[in-house]
Amino acid sequence: MKEPSDLSILVKNSGEWLKGTGPESDIVISSRIRLARNLAGFPFIKKCSEDDRRKIERQVRTRLEAMSAWKDIQYVHVDTLSEVDRQFLVERQLISREIAEAEGSRAVAIDPGEQYSVMVNEEDHLRIQVMHSGLDLDSAWDQIDRIDDTVEGELLYAFHPKFGYLTACPTNVGTGLRVSVMLHLPGLVITQQIDKVFRSMQRINVTVRGLYGEGSQYTGDFYQVSNQVTLGHTERELLTMVGDEVVPRIIDYERKARDFLMEKGEQDLLDDVSRALGILSTARKISSEETMHYLSKVRLGVNLGLIDDVEVATINKLFIHTQPAHLQKLRGRMLTTSDRHVERANYLHQHLRNGGPADVN
């Protein structure tokens, strides 16, 4: 494994999950699967001493370093990072806010393509994560299952023959599996159907969160849908519930909302998305919230054929690269809020000036 002194390699690239090439990628941004695992012989993190945390981190790092298949993995000591660097990894969806804000020894191992990562000393000793572009849960599951088997071959997990994998939170006991799908749902937001749709989801043990998971706000019309509990369910049952039952219904609702908007007011919608592109392309300064709002409209316009010459992958990247920590890493210096607003506008200009509205009959 590689232990970079900074995050420059990540700054220059974008994760595979942002490329917008997976199934249903006009609506589904990414499919993510996480596995919660703990090491036998250690307390759960909240009961760990700092010495326990260091021993867990050292043991995990030593075992991962011995795996030849992981020689290109970047291993980052989160506890030694600056606040901006930790926020950068959160924005990139490579670590959680919980591990970013925690204390003591903690780390993350990151795949160069950013398809998978392993957090060390988050809520559980290990949080293994795989992210794929679009609605691609089956292949994401196949990949994380192989990774989990490989890691389990090196480390002894805390496992109970009756209850399954033991986790810090009782709702994760059993498979330790969290299946999440990030969706872009501007049609349902514009038609004011979003609350109705998600109220219907609450009855079937799924939860809805914002872009950065638990406790985060809904911005840019992004919503993460995931299973609420794992105990008593097999991996296949959870994958089927989220990937074959819940998410396809939401996709269908969103497509119907988009069809309605095109049928009842295509010119109004064209005007709305064109104005959004115009603001992003010409503003001299702009906040994160405004940027997310207008990028959501532009992304909708691109996917409906109302805007030419802007790629979905570009919009997906801008959602992440215009966040505060990313801007500061890209510019190579700390920026005040006012400076970030100016730099964000400049960055948007560089990537959107060639875009424009499509011809509409």
pLDDT digits (tens, 9 = 90+) for 266-312: 999 999 999 999 999 999 999 999 999 999 999 999 999 999 889 99
Binding residues: 30-34, 127, 178-182, 209-214
Phi-psi region of 355 (alpha: psi -120 to 50; beta: other; left: phi over 0): beta
Can you tell me the distance from the alpha carbon of 137 to that of 318, in angstroms, rounded to the nearest whole number?
A: 24
pLDDT digits (tens, 9 = 90+) for 177-186: 999 999 999 9
Cβ atoms of 31 and 142 closer than 8 Å: no
pLDDT digits (tens, 9 = 90+) for 54-105: 999 999 999 998 887 888 899 999 999 999 999 999 999 999 999 999 999 9
3: CB partners within 8 A, 6+ apart:
74, 75, 76, 77
Binding residues for ATP: 30-34, 127, 178-182, 209-214
Whole-structure pTM value: 0.91
